[in-house]
């Protein structure tokens, strides 16, 4: 009410007086009101290392609090990577150094550029709060298949931030940008897992010539294992399935002459041929084994 008296020159101010205010007067009164509880809570939760943290946020007006928060969040600003480090980065780096004094900085904090500070922070391990938010958004958007556990467990702080942004931003239909999310996930390549390396050793013990690069990554080993698997011959269960396809007329009988020599790659091609011919038969079209080129066995006449 004290704020309103600056704009309403009456001894007693009632509801009708507020209704008669013009837009300018209403905005000025609102801006001059005390900071809201949410604004005060935001400032109190800030790191003590932040240069812009106010000492007494409860004494600020709504406008002062809003302008300071906009300055802290850098809302609507594009920052030059070669420009000086900003207050948010200084606070984040000092907080991290307090938690982990063994971290090595590229130089004195105050002399770092914005780009250097961003790179340093992006390569840190994500915070507990970040991972909790990411887990919630993954469940909310039902994208756990797109972001498997081996990816989540190896993310850096900057990658988590980008992933959170993609999961929060939705189009007018409520859909996230799935291609952009898949592209980001594809860029994450953690070290190979012990399980992968054990599988490689098992192949090598059985005569495989598979060779690992130095410091193999998850995706490198996954590719090598897929290649090796495709060379393996099919098992009895797969042979029995193949017999069923032949009986249905979706795969030619010649592939049963020496099925034990078929590789997993060849079996996969036959599976595709079976599916294609099954669809043709269900549509009323006679099965055409030549519709999809299937593998030839060594020595088999073409």
Please give the pLDDT value at position 263: 95
Q: What is the pLDDT of residues 79-130, one digit of tens each?
A: 788 989 988 889 889 988 998 888 888 889 989 998 999 999 999 999 888 8
Which of 24-38, 143-157, 192-206: highest mean pLDDT? 192-206
Which residues fall within 8 angstroms of residue 129, CB to CB, at 6 or more apart? none
pLDDT greater than 70 at residue 243: yes
Q: What is the pLDDT of residues 164-204, one digit of tens each?
A: 989 988 888 888 999 999 999 988 888 998 999 999 999 99
Its domain, for residue 265, covers: 236-291
- Identify whether residues 134 and 162 lie together within a single domain: yes
Average pLDDT over residues 44-52: 79
**Residue 37 within a domain:** no
Please give the pLDDT value at position 301: 42
Lowest mean pLDDT among 27-41, 153-167, 200-214: 27-41
Q: pLDDT over 70 for what percent of the chain? A: 84
Please give the pLDDT value at position 48: 80
- Alpha carbon distance 174, 171 (integer Å): 5
- Identify whether residues 137 and 175 lie together within a single domain: yes
Tell the residue number behind the tokens 């078929």, with chain if given. 262
Distances (CA, A) of 204 to 71, 190, 191: 59, 23, 20
Number of structural domains the chain divides into:
4
Please give the pLDDT value at position 150: 82
**Residue 57 within a domain:** no
- Identify whether residues 173 and 208 lie together within a single domain: no
């Amino acid at each position: 009410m004290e704020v309103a008296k600056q704009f309403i020159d009456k001894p007693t101010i009632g509801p009708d007086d507020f209704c008669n205010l013009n837009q300018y007067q209403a905005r000025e009164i609102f801006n001059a009101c005390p900071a809201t509880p949410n604004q005060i809570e935001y400032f109190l939760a800030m790191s003590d290392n932040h240069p812009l943290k106010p000492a007494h946020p409860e004494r600020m007006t709504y406008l002062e609090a809003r302008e300071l928060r906009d300055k802290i969040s850098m809302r609507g600003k594009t920052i030059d990577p070669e420009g000086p480090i900003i207050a948010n980065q200084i606070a984040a780096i000092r907080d991290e150094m307090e938690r982990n004094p063994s971290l090595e900085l590229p130089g004195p904090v105050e002399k770092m550029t914005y780009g250097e500070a961003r790179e340093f922070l992006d390569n840190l391990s994500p915070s507990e709060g970040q991972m909790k938010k990411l887990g919630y958004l993954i469940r909310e958007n039902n994208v756990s298949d797109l972001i498997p556990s081996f990816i989540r467990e190896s993310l850096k702080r900057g990658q988590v931030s980008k992933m959170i942004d993609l999961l929060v931003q939705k189009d007018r239909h409520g859909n996230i940008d799935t291609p952009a999310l898949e592209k980001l996930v594809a860029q994450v390549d953690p070290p190979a897992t012990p399980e992968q390396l054990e599988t490689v050793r098992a192949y090598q013990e059985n005569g495989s010539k598979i060779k690992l690069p130095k410091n193999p990554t998850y995706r490198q080993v996954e590719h090598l294992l897929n290649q090796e698997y495709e060379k393996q011959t099919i098992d009895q269960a797969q042979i029995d399935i193949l017999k069923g396809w032949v009986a249905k007329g979706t795969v030619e009988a010649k592939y049963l002459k020496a099925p034990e020599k078929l590789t997993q790659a060849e079996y996969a091609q036959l599976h595709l041929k079976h599916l294609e011919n099954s669809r043709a038969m269900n549509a009323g079209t006679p099965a055409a084994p030549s519709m999809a080129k299937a593998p030839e066995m060594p020595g088999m006449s073409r």
